[in-house]
Each structure stands twice: as structure tokens, then as C-alpha cells.
Amino acid sequence: MEIDKEGPKGVTEEGRKVASARCVEYKEAIQEYLDAKKDIPCGLDLTERNEQQKKKILSVLEGSEEDWDDWKWQVRNMIRDVETLAKIFPLTAEEQKQIEEVGKDVRWGVSPYYASLIDPDDPNCPVRMQSIPSIQEALDPSVVTEPETILYNSPAPCITRLYPDRLIINVTNACSMFCRHCLRRRDIGHENIRYAKESIKDALEYIRENTEIRDVLLTGGDALMLSDDYLDWILSELDAIEHVEIKRLGTRTPVVLPMRITDEFCAMLEKHGAIYLNTQFNHSKEITETAAEAIKKLTKAGVLVGNQTVLLKGINADKHIMKKLMQDALRIRVKPYYIFHCKKLEGIRHFRAHIEDGLEIMEYLRGYTSGLAIPTYIITAPSGRGKTPVNPNYILNTNVDGQVLFRTWGGHVMKYDNER
């Protein structure tokens, strides 16, 4: 092969000047983000601080380093009472009272690992806001009743079906942490339940009988709160159904309980063909070395990992914070998939951003960062009518003398031949 020092032919000196001028524009376009990025913390850079919190939590819980790496120990020692929480974080008497008040109505609990990511000196820490109850939950006057979602979209036990070729099997209500913005916060109750095996068998039978189903999502709750053996059984049953092409797992464990992703678990998944796992990183502080190691294990087992972020006011409803999150997710091999607009539910009004905030975020992702880093912004339609994509409008007119008038990501208005 010949070596050419000049690279591709045909670029003139004038062309270089034009390119250089454009690059100045690109630099100016990204400078605001580069300045803001310096103040957006990422868990990959907070290992030492998180380690100090970890030691404090282990001391309070009387655990060892070996315990810390055991996901079952983490679940058994979930922080779920104010007395324990107050030994780890500085809480005023009023804050303790408020947390107890919220807990009477809606369950809460945070894994020791996830608690170690909380900045104890920042009441607005995005990790704290997602995990520790706020009195705003009790003060939310919203009353939301939407029985159609449950009543009219479950054709068989444990199944939710909203689309032509795919469905959900709800396998448990248990979670490794009870997120304060959870859309199922009213469904999880106060006790963990693994749905009866007979009901799961009925769900599998429904899938066998409906040959158009090619994609099955196991979720809950959190599907990974089930044992490896039980998940292996469900996945094996799905493997045996010829028309099921892919299986998906819905779980937040890579974010809040990454030690759940064991070598044994990954070896089990590797047996089952096309497995996709969707998780939920909502802020770069959650992207830690421990989470990265869990994702690495999954990808080595052939599991493709996607991220379904929820747009949350005060946490990530900002164009720079969201962009940093998408980029940091890619750094650890997680593909941005969706940004969900936070649903209207009781107790979470303080998390709901404006749709315009989501549109602005999408506007400042397209073109300003890699296409790989751009998810789809989604509104979940009422009455169980499914996900609806919402995007900025780039088409200005579809017929201007036979041409389409559109704008580019950079704001240039252009015409394009609309050949017929």
C-alpha cells in the first residue's frame, strides 16, 4: 500500500481557509458546554470521596468489605429507617419527621452502595433527591387515576401489552432501591412479592399462543431481584418459543446495585441468545467505576445495554447536564435509548419539568454531540396508549417549488430537492 502524506486529494488552499472558518464556528458553538461541564460532577472522578462514604456506611451497618461486594447483603441491609439514615447523613429533627411522614404512605429504601454516592453536605445532591424522601411528596395535591392502563392492557396474568409485536411480563414488585420518581410507586406496596409461578406460566402460554410476539421484556419492580435460577427458567421458556426473537431485562441494578451483576449471572445470560438490558442512569454522578465494571461484565457476556433516562427537574432537566450524562454513559458502553418525560403521578410534581425543557435538550444534542449520544425523547400517552416521540421540528415547508425547506442543527435554512 502506498503512503500519501497529503491525505485525500482535491482540497485546495481556499478550501482549507473555509474549513478553518467553520471550525471557529464549531468551537464557539461548544464553548458554553465546555465551560459548564467543569461544574458537572461525574462518579468516575469521585471514587475517593465515595470510598470515604462507603467506610462510614460499613461502620454504621457493621459490615465488611466482603459484605459490601455481596448484592444479597446490600439488599438485606437496605437503609429504610430514619434512625439508620441519620447516622449516615446530617438530618435535622424536622427532616427526620418529614421522612417518617412520607414513609407512612409510600415505601422508601436505598441500597448502601447508592447511599455512598450521596454528597452528605448537599441537600440538592441528585443522588439524594432520587433516593431519600422529600416532604414535597406529601404536599403534592395531584390526584391521578388512570385505571385504563392496568384494566385494559393485561390480556393474561402478569402481562402488560401496549404494542403489536411486544409485551411485558411483570415478574416482581421488588426493587433494589425505591426511586422517589418511580412511575409504579403506588403499585409496589410495603412488602416484596414474587408473582406466582403459575401466573408466569400463564403469561408464557399467552406468548406461545400469540405468534406475532417477537420481543418480551421482563420487568417489575426490578427483574434482577429474582434469583439467577428463576430468571434462567423464564428465559429458557422464552428460548423455546420459536417466534420470540429477543428478550429484554428492565433493571436499575447497574446504577443502584452494580454488585448484582456477578460473573455467575453473566454466564447464565450468555446462554440465552439475544439479550438486551435497559437501565436508568439519571445523572453523571451515578456513573462510577463500580457501575462501569458491571457494564463491562454484561457486554463481555454479549448483553447490549441501553439507558432510559427520566427527565427530572432539579436533577437533569438541563441541556448541559443531560449532554454530559449521555456522553459519560457512552464512556462505559451504555447506549442512550430514551429520555422519558416524567409522568403525572401523585407525589412527584416537584420532579416534573416542562416539555419545552425536554425539547431544548434535544435541540442542543443533535449536531452538538455524537449521534450515538442522542436518545429519543418520549411522552408516555395517557390510558396506556404507549410511547410517543417528541422532537424539535426541522422541516419548515414540504413544498417550496418542489423542494423541502428545512433548517440544520446549526440553524441554517436550506432547500432540498423532493424528487418524486
Give me the percent of the chain exceeding a pLDDT of 70: 95
**Which one of 103, 136, 169 terminates a domain?**
136
Pairing of strands 159-160, 166-170: antiparallel
330 pLDDT band, cuts 50/70/90, is: very high
For residue range 246-302, what is the model confidence (pLDDT) as tens digits? 999 999 999 999 999 999 999 999 999 999 999 999 999 999 999 999 999 999 999
Chain-wide mean pLDDT for the chain? Answer: 94
CA gap 152, 171 in Å, rounded? 19
For residue range 146-178, what is the model confidence (pLDDT) as tens digits? 555 667 899 999 999 999 999 999 999 999 899
CA gap 205, 213 in Å, rounded? 12
Residues 256, 112 within the same domain: no
Domain count, the chain: 3
Pull the grid cell for residue 166. 411486544
In a domain, 170, yes or no: yes
Residues 400, 384 within the same domain: no
In a domain, 6, yes or no: no
Find the domain containing 314 and state its range: 147-389
**Which one of 84, 112, 136 terminates a domain?**
136
Predicted confidence at residue 25, as pLDDT, reads 94
Residues 158, 281 within the same domain: yes
Predicted confidence at residue 142, as pLDDT, reads 74
SS3 335: strand
Predicted confidence at residue 191, as pLDDT, reads 73
Over residues 1-19, mean pLDDT: 80
CA gap 125, 314 in Å, rounded? 9
Predicted confidence at residue 184, as pLDDT, reads 73
Does residue 128 carry a pLDDT above 80?
A: yes
Residues 109, 214 within the same domain: no
Residues 62, 92 within the same domain: yes
Over residues 214-242, mean pLDDT: 97
5 pLDDT band, cuts 50/70/90, is: low
Predicted confidence at residue 22, as pLDDT, reads 94
Does residue 143 carry a pLDDT above 80?
A: no
Contacts of 398 (CB under 8 A, 6+ apart): 404, 405, 418
**385 and 146 Cβ atoms separated by less than 8 Å:** no
Residues 340, 410 within the same domain: no
Does residue 420 carry a pLDDT above 90?
A: no
Residues 246, 378 within the same domain: yes
Over residues 32-51, mean pLDDT: 98
**375 and 338 Cβ atoms separated by less than 8 Å:** yes
